[in-house]
Amino acid sequence: MTNSSHTLLRQIKVLDPVANTSIINDVLLGSGIIQAIDTHLDNIPPETNILEGKSLILAPGLMDLYSYSGEPGYEERETLESLAASAVAGGFTGVAILPHTQPPVDNLATLSYLKQQTRSISSVKFEFWGTFTQGAKGEQMTELGELAKAGVMGFTDNRGLENLGLLRRVLEYLKPLKKPLALVPEFPSLKGNGVMREGYFSTTYGLTGNPSMTEATAVATILEMVAVMQTPVHLMRISTRRAVELIAWGKARGIPITASTTWMHLLLDSENLSGYNPNLRLDPPLGNPEDRLALIEGISQGIIDAIAVDHRGYTYEEKTVPFAEAPSGAIGLQLVLPLLWQTLVEKGSLSPLQLWKALSSNPRKCLGKVVNPIKAGHPLELIIFDAKKTWTVSPSTLKSLNHNTFWLGQEIQGQVIRI
């Protein structure tokens, strides 16, 4: 290749989830924008780098709605630098960080620290959720206006519902601020000590069950509150068939909600827990088989708007414990696209555009962002994906500081080759 500032992608499949098109085109990139795009380009600058696009896909960079940073407080789990490296390797050009650092993002000082730490990271645009309550049990509201003015992306407590009276006040205060509010639909008192979804498999495997009504009753409660308050809400980590049904009901009545599930809930279910792999200990737990199928259908129908990564690194020592004692969470930024493509797109459960919408344009819309189609003159935020390239998930290929994933040691198909 030459040192030209222009690159021509010759006959590459262009997926545009905004325009809802999938077309093989020539694409000329340069000076930070799409210079030209057409079925065939002849007039290209001299010494242009040319990449043959056969079998490759060009599409918008992915956006993760929520993942964890270990920094500050738990740098042995993940740093912002390692998180950025994982994101780039997985095709994510934007990542929204959950506020549960140490100290949490419930004050201006922590938010300022995180923004300062990410100024030198140009490969990924980090944004930060702030908490909407403070205290061990969330007994008082944070300074919502101050955090919003300081540039927090939105607000989430990232935990189940406990104080509904306070939540009502938060809905009132946040409405004029025009910042996203994300809620975890779960009643902890119903969850109890459950470590997997209640049902046939929890009985068979001898693990304490977490009933699906833990989520369903919370979704129903949020729908009733939002219907009255009319403050838009995003529902995080949807994991059950009943929740999908309730969300469809709410959307049909014009209640201002969006919803996301996580990638692992689309790939695996409670039947996969027979090996008691602690990397499958999640919160909410993997659903039963009928839940997983309902979530896939929810994505295909647009009931579930987005797929989140919920990337959470843990050290080997933290995760190498009995299943019921393991902390909840797994890494995923580098694995989401290839595994979802391999499992859902290639088997016909989702179309390429449906998957890309759920991973790219829809997450941005959930955050209130304007999303543009792919066309000449627009800034670059694109990735090239090789759906056929195989690689082995190993400590040497993973960019995360830790390797707590069910797929460690396995060969998978699909890799982002340029961002």
Closest CA to 70 of 25, 92, 100, 37: 100
Determine contact, residues 157/133, Cβ cutoff 8 Å. Answer: yes
Rounded to 5°, the CA angle 306-309-310 comes to 115
| Residue 291, H or E segment | helix 289-301
Q: Say how far apart CA 377 and CA 375 lie, in whole Å.
A: 6
Determine contact, residues 192/264, Cβ cutoff 8 Å. Answer: no
Catalytic residue (one of 16, 106, 310, 386): 310
Closest CA to 111 of 67, 76, 143: 143
Catalytic annotation present for 310: yes
- Any idea which residue has 């929520």 for tokens? 66
Determine contact, residues 210/194, Cβ cutoff 8 Å. Answer: yes
Helix (H, G, I), strand (E, B) or coil at 234: strand
Helix (H, G, I), strand (E, B) or coil at 310: coil
Calculated CA dihedral for residues 158, 162, 165, 168, nearest 10 degrees: 30
DSSP-H helix ranges across 155-237: 164-174, 188-191, 200-205, 213-229
DSSP secondary-structure letter at 380? Answer: P
Closest CA to 295 of 338, 350, 251, 252: 350
User: What sign does the CA torsion over 55, 60, 61, 64 have?
Assistant: negative
Determine contact, residues 261/240, Cβ cutoff 8 Å. Answer: no
Residue 389 tokens, joined: 């390239």
Closest CA to 398 of 83, 122, 56, 93: 83
Q: Say how far apart CA 368 and CA 373 lie, in whole Å.
A: 16
What is the CB neighbour count within 10 angstroms for residue 263? Answer: 25
Q: Say how far apart CA 402 and CA 114 lie, in whole Å.
A: 21
Sequence-distant (6+) residues with CB within 8 A of 372 are 18, 378
Residues belonging to the active site: 310
